[in-house]
Structure 1
């Protein structure tokens, strides 16, 4: 797949990530390179078609296809120097969130999951495929405002045969999304430039631009069902500022803050960019505050004994939450 992406990128002059999205679309389109205004040339199109047919994704599982797309994306993102907010969520994080959702649900439940900052969609894919392997039924909604990443996600979901409604829009605008059982989001960190829209949020800053990641938490909590659960991948210092205190006040009013767990620092190239997992439950029928908020560090995944103890603690904690 990576070779086909490289050929298309060189022929048309796309970024590598754009070329990956076009490659996936060509594969979805019966392994046929699409030509627009004579590009790619007939010679290159024939070369690409042959590469797609040799790849033959019909012989791969959905999870194998996801990993193949992920590997190619990581290479493309490195070549393009993609900004941090557009990078894929590490598999270890996605699988941990998927395991947690699995522990919180029963086999006969039909789950609805949304991500209002879905990017390339890999976090949702990881979770949906894990739940599928556990015998669960789940559909999802993926929203993002980046045209290139949404196009890529749309093709990836199709190849992975996942039930995902994908929308290109500002995740902080009103959406026609039904109340969700779960929201999951690896939140983009930074300022939101549309002050007029930010003004309607409780978590807006009093002066200047507001933090996009604060607003996105509020937005996604709004779209949860009563007792629905939000999993937010956030900066570890999320609540350490006056704006963070305002966010916490909002969360304590609208949700039960159930857990704040720091991910292993070895998952991040720079410790100053380390992240934590914030778990909240929307107030309402069936929701309750656990007697002890789950706080602390998630052990390194390679430390099997410590991680096993963590999962046992988590499973016991979940039983109280439910």
Structure 2
């Protein structure tokens, strides 16, 4: 597997560098073209002859179907990370795969027993979280949807999804505006953190700020609850200070009215360069006629995912929670 990942990453990196130099375009834009070339296996006709020969040689040197799905995902992750290194926009990053794998595990625990469900990520970025979750769902049919406003990220997500031969329906739009989507069973999202600049759109939300810009992450939580079926589950990667911010009372009363807080799992501190940027997984269930608060909220400080024994201990605790406290 490691050999496959290295081989495919090297191909993506070389091809991207050729396109980057020839077309004088940023690495991440060139990566979109390179990954599309890998999927389509066709070089455009109208290129300068030497450039066309270079790309034709690259295409002839590889066949993406020779690589396992996991290798394709990890090679693309590495290339995207290289392209986003030093990107100033906070939303230009991808959710670490270990977090996606853990959320996939949690979803499997909560929707276990179902043959199919509908999944939506309203801040899908380059599609990495959705694709990582889908790779965890064995013997289960998942109808998947993602929404992303950034044009670069949505194109990366589209190519990423093609290379993994998955079906995800993407909406290229501001996810805080109305979405043409029926409510889903599960929401999973790494929420954008910060202020939302569109005060007109924010004004229709219960979680809007009384003065100035509203918190985008609060609005995303409200929008996500709106697009979740009764008794459906929501899994958010949120800032660990979520319930300590200046609008915490407003958020807590809103959550109390609409959802059950099922769990708060603090991600390993070692994942974050600065503790103030630490994140947690917030698990909610939308209220419905048959739902109730859990006997005990699932609370845990997750260890480094590299510590196998400590991680297994946490998973044992979660299994116990499902037996006794759910």
Give the TM-score range, shorter chain. over 0.9
Tell me which of 8, 14, 19 is aligned to 1:3.
Answer: 14
- CA separation in 1, counterparts of 2:295 and 2:325? 9
* Runs of 4 or more above 4 Å deviation: 319-322
Q: 2:118: which partner in 1?
A: 112
Deviation of 1:47 (Å): 1.1
1:81 has 2:92 as partner: no
Q: How does 1:31-180 map to 2 (within 5 A)?
A: 31-34=41-44, 40-78=47-85, 81-106=87-112, 108-131=114-137, 134-180=138-184
CA distance in 2, matches of 1:319, 1:288: 16
Which residue pairs with 1:270 in the alignment? Answer: 274
Q: Is the 8 A contact 1:145 1:170 kept in 2?
A: yes
3-state SS, counterpart of residue 233 of structure 2: strand
Deviation of the 1:34 alpha carbon? 3.4
Q: CA 1:244/1:156 → structure 2, altered by over 3 Å: closer, same or farther?
A: same
SS at match of 1:317: helix
Task: Determine whether 1:13 maps to 2:24.
Answer: yes
CA contact (8 A) 1:183 1:229 kept: yes
Q: Which range moved further: 300-309 or 68-77?
A: 300-309
Do the aligned partners of residues 4 and 211 (structure 1) sit closer, same or farther apart at CA in structure 2, a change above 3 Å counting?
same
User: Is there any run of 5+ residues in structure 1 with no aligned partner, and where?
Assistant: none
| Matched position secondary structure for 1:292 | coil
Residues matched between the structures, number? 315
User: What is the CA distance between 1:250 and its match in structure 2?
Assistant: 0.8
In the TM superposition, residue 120 of structure 1 has moved relative to its aligned partner by 0.4
When structure 1 is superposed on structure 2, of 306-315 and 86-95 the one drifting more is 306-315
> Residue 102 of structure 2 aligns to a residue in which SS?
helix
Q: Specify the alignment match of 1:183 in structure 2.
A: 187
Tell me by how many angstroms 1:105 deviates: 2.3
Choose 46-55 or 186-195, whichever is displaced more.
46-55
Equivalent residue in structure 1 for 2:319, among 307, 315, 320: 315
User: CA–CA distance in 1 between the matches of 2:211 and 2:42?
Assistant: 52
Q: 1:174 and 1:42 mapped to 2: Cα distance?
A: 47
Residue number in structure 1 paired with 2:4: none
Is this contact kept in 2: 1:226–1:286, CA < 8 A? no
Aligned-residue Cα RMSD (Å) equals 1.6
Instruction: Note if contact 2:191-2:236 (Cα within 8 Å) is conserved in structure 1.
Output: yes
- Secondary structure at 2:238's aligned position in 1? strand
8 Å CA contact 1:214–1:247 kept in 2: the answer is yes
Q: Deviations over 1:252-276 (max 9, x none)?
A: 1100011111100111122221101
SS of aligned partner of 2:280: strand
1:278-307 deviations in whole A, cap 9, x for unaligned? 110000044221111112311222222222
The question of whether the paired residues in 2 share the 8 Å contact of 1:263 and 1:276 is answered with: yes
Question: Which digits, 9 at most, give the CA deviation of each residue in 1:219-254, with x for residues without a partner?
Answer: 011101111111110110011023122112111110
Q: Residue by residue, what CA displacement relative to the aligned partner does 1:180-220 show, whole Å, maximum 9, x if unpaired?
A: 11111111111111101101111111000101111011101
Shift of 1:320: 5.5
1:283-302 alignment to 2 at 5 Å? 283-302=287-306
Normalised to the residue count of structure 2, the TM-score between the two structures is 0.92
How far 1:76 moved relative to its partner? 1.2
